[in-house]
Structure 1
Amino acid sequence: MRRKIDYTLYLCTDRNLMSTKTLEEAVEQAILGGCTLVQLREKDISSLEFYRMAVGVKKITDRYGVPLIVNDRADIALAVGADGVHAGQSDLPCKNLRTILGQDRIVGISAATVEEAVRAQGDGADYVGVGAMFPTGTKTDARPVSMETLAEIRRAVTIPIVAIGGIGPQNAGRFCGTGVDGLAVVSAILAQPDITSAARELRTIFRRV
């Protein structure tokens, strides 16, 4: 049975940005600060390294009852028993991921246009990640999305929307009242000296409606 997901504060990992010695420590501190969902997104490592990292991170997310999503890799997600997969427009199509993962796991799809979001919903996605909302250094090829387009996407789809891209305490408040279900963050949490406080601040700002 597919679990209910709280998208409020969605942590995407990047071991090159974290202020802690280990990714497990960073993830735990973020969860203690209020992160409700974790996506393991690590590039340029071998499948074995990714698998081992996923095993370690899942021990932490399981401890706190927080869902774990794996970026791109349905095989890794299945191997470690993760809750789902997030894919971009150049990755495996949503329909294929649903076939691989079955109905009990989460499938998230990146979208930068209304058409992409509508197609993702039609193909069975559980949520869409919309962005980049602001310039970001963690994904240099990300396509920019305006607040106007975000509003259009919100009107066009009924599935949850997570805003991503350059989001931090300076602009998180802009999403209050927009109908967005959560904020996806990397450096504004992981790169901070106090990860727990950074996560807590972002959650407070976003939920201050």
Structure 2
Amino acid sequence: MKNSFKTEELKVYFICGTQDFKSANNPLTAALTCIETALKAGITMFQFREKGHGSLTGEAKLDFAKQAQALCKEYKVPFIMNDDMDLAEALDVDGVHIGQDDDPIEDVRRRFPHKIIGLSIHSPEEYAASRVDLADYIGIGPIYGTQSKDDAKAPIGLDGVEELRKVAGSLPIVAIGGITVDNAADIVKSGADGVSVISAITQAADVTEAVRKLKL
């Protein structure tokens, strides 16, 4: 797995799509503005997740992805594609993130031999049953309850972070689910290398301040 991935890039891992800005007059503009503000403020990785009710499809999704990718390149932040392998290949993204119900990681690694690959893991049992040796990092969670994902599993809490750190050894871990500027530090202390957030940034009154606090 020869790529440029560094564990510290997981420190503040921002995920979003236009569906996270439904209340805005123009969700696309709101999303791009938020992404650029977050990049300026110092997020370390970005995941393009355009899925769910009200999300863009087809050419509109492609155009949005290209704009978001261009911003990430400008600020030298890895651009990760959630789930959509065809779009990931078309845009030659920096990496992809897959869940347990997406394409098998064996197939994804064959398709993207030199890209960053992240895999979602919910429990030590799931870790043991997964080809984590093919992943550059694992995304664990949800840590707490979350409204950002309709299909979220039961929260694993800080104990779950500690358990997964024990079984994962030195494999990089990013935590996700219900993470806020107030609980991020505890999650890192429990063993995560970084935190992955959606609403902590998309719903922040001050995006720059939110990113600053998440980096502490």
Same fold at TM > 0.5: yes
Is 2:146 the partner of 1:136?
yes
Looking at structure 2, the residues matched to 15 and 191 of structure 1 have their Cα atoms a distance apart, in angstroms, of 13
2:35 corresponds to: 27
Looking at structure 2, the residues matched to 121 and 34 of structure 1 have their Cα atoms a distance apart, in angstroms, of 31
Among 190, 194, 201, which residue is 2:213 paired with?
201
Amino acid at match of 2:36: E
After TM superposition, list the pairs within 5 Å mapping 1:1-209 onto structure 2: 1-5=2-6, 6-18=9-21, 21-43=29-51, 44-102=55-113, 104-143=114-153, 144-157=155-168, 158-204=170-216
Deviations, residues 20-48 of structure 1 (Å, cap 9, x unaligned): 83322211111122210000001143233
Looking at structure 1, the residues matched to 110 and 39 of structure 2 have their Cα atoms a distance apart, in angstroms, of 30
Looking at structure 1, the residues matched to 132 and 215 of structure 2 have their Cα atoms a distance apart, in angstroms, of 30
Looking at structure 2, the residues matched to 27 and 119 of structure 1 have their Cα atoms a distance apart, in angstroms, of 35
Q: 1:121 Cα deviation (Å)?
A: 4.8
SS in 1 for 2:18: coil
Give the structure-1-normalised TM-score.
Answer: 0.90
SS in 2 for 1:16: helix
Looking at structure 1, the residues matched to 144 and 17 of structure 2 have their Cα atoms a distance apart, in angstroms, of 18
Change (3 A) 1:150 1:176: closer
Contact (CA 8 Å) 1:117, 1:128: kept in 2 or not? no
Give the structure-2-normalised TM-score.
Answer: 0.87
Question: Which stretch shows the higher mean deviation, 158-167 or 171-180?
Answer: 171-180
Percent identity, aligned pairs only, is 33
Change (3 A) 1:71 1:193: same
Question: Which stretch shows the higher mean deviation, 194-203 or 119-128?
Answer: 119-128
Gap runs ≥5 in structure 1: 205-209
